[in-house]
């Protein structure tokens, strides 16, 4: 989810407007990775969807399903019914393989969030390999966690640099709540590092 980018004058971005210098590739400035600080991040987390089945488990499951589909066919070997049952079993096995492969592909989704004093960066790698980048100054970033009323419970968004992005929508509500608390504390630390107490 992303809202319209704002240009420097606060007007909404217009697709028909001429590109500014630096926009030769059509990307907005916030879509490019900014120069990263030389220091370690104050907070860093990598998020990905839950993967309940390992590659070994995937193969084991297919073998078990194959055996479960073939065993009932054995008494019918040599009869015309066997061919129909074998075709049904192979079609079922192929469909299961395709669906599990799709699930694995979708599980390649990943979000990397890093927070420094003066910069918060979110890099999202989609299942198809595309990468989306969002960054802003943590001083002006808004963190919102809607317990209810969003697309999912504990819907987590970051707002800054003229855009609003969702964060960890694929996580469980409890994981999003924990992430919200950790990120809120980290943003507070980053903001206090920007404005040290006079003493």
Report yes or no on 124 lying in a domain: yes
Are residue 97 and residue 141 in the same domain, yes or no?
no
Are residue 184 and residue 124 in the same domain, yes or no?
yes
Are residue 113 and residue 153 in the same domain, yes or no?
yes
Cα–Cα distance between 185 and 49 in angstroms, integer? Answer: 23
pLDDT at 139 over 80: yes
Based on the structure, what is the number of domains in the chain?
A: 2
From 78, 106, 134, the end of a domain falls on 106
Are residue 116 and residue 145 in the same domain, yes or no?
yes
Report yes or no on 12 lying in a domain: no
Are residue 181 and residue 83 in the same domain, yes or no?
no
pLDDT value at position 195? 57
Report yes or no on 13 lying in a domain: no
pLDDT value at position 189? 92
- Strand positions, DSSP E, 106-174: 110-116, 119-125, 131-136, 142-146, 155-160, 163-166
Q: Is the pTM of this model over 0.75?
A: no
Are residue 36 and residue 128 in the same domain, yes or no?
yes
From 88, 106, 124, the end of a domain falls on 106
The pLDDT tens digits of the residues spanning 35-70 come to 888 889 999 999 988 777 788 888 899 899 999 988
pLDDT at 3 over 50: no
Are residue 131 and residue 184 in the same domain, yes or no?
yes
Are residue 45 and residue 122 in the same domain, yes or no?
yes
Are residue 116 and residue 178 in the same domain, yes or no?
yes
Six token digits for residue 115: 């927070």
Q: Which of 34, 46, 13 is nearest to 134 (CA)?
A: 34
Cα–Cα distance between 166 and 145 in angstroms, integer? Answer: 10
pLDDT value at position 193? 64
Q: Are 86 and 73 in contact (CB under 8 A)?
A: yes
Report yes or no on 15 lying in a domain: no
Residue 10: strand, helix, or coil: coil
Residue range 117-142: mean pLDDT, rounded: 90
Are residue 36 and residue 101 in the same domain, yes or no?
no
Are residue 41 and residue 60 in the same domain, yes or no?
no
What residues make up the domain containing 87? Answer: 55-106
Q: What is the CATH number of the domain that holds 160?
A: 2.30.29.30
pLDDT value at position 19? 36
């Amino acid at each position: 989810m992303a809202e319209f980018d704002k240009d420097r004058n606060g007007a909404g971005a217009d697709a028909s407007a001429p590109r500014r210098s630096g926009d030769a590739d059509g990307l907005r400035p916030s879509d490019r990775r900014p120069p990263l600080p030389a220091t370690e991040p104050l907070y860093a987390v990598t998020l990905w969807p839950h993967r309940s089945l390992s590659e070994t488990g995937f193969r084991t499951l297919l073998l078990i399903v194959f055996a479960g589909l073939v065993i009932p066919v054995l008494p019918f070997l040599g009869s015309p019914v066997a061919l129909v049952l074998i075709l049904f079993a192979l079609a079922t096995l192929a469909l299961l393989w395709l669906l599990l492969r799709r699930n694995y592909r979708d599980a390649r989704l990943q979000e990397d969030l890093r927070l420094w004093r003066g910069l918060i960066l979110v890099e999202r790698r989609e299942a198809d390999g595309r990468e989306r980048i969002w960054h802003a100054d943590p001083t002006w970033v808004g963190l919102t966690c809607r317990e209810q009323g969003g697309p999912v419970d504990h819907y987590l968004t970051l707002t800054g640099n003229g855009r609003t992005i969702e964060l960890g929508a694929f996580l469980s509500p409890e994981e999003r709540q924990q992430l919200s608390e950790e990120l809120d504390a980290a943003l507070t630390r980053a903001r206090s590092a920007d404005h040290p107490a006079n003493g």
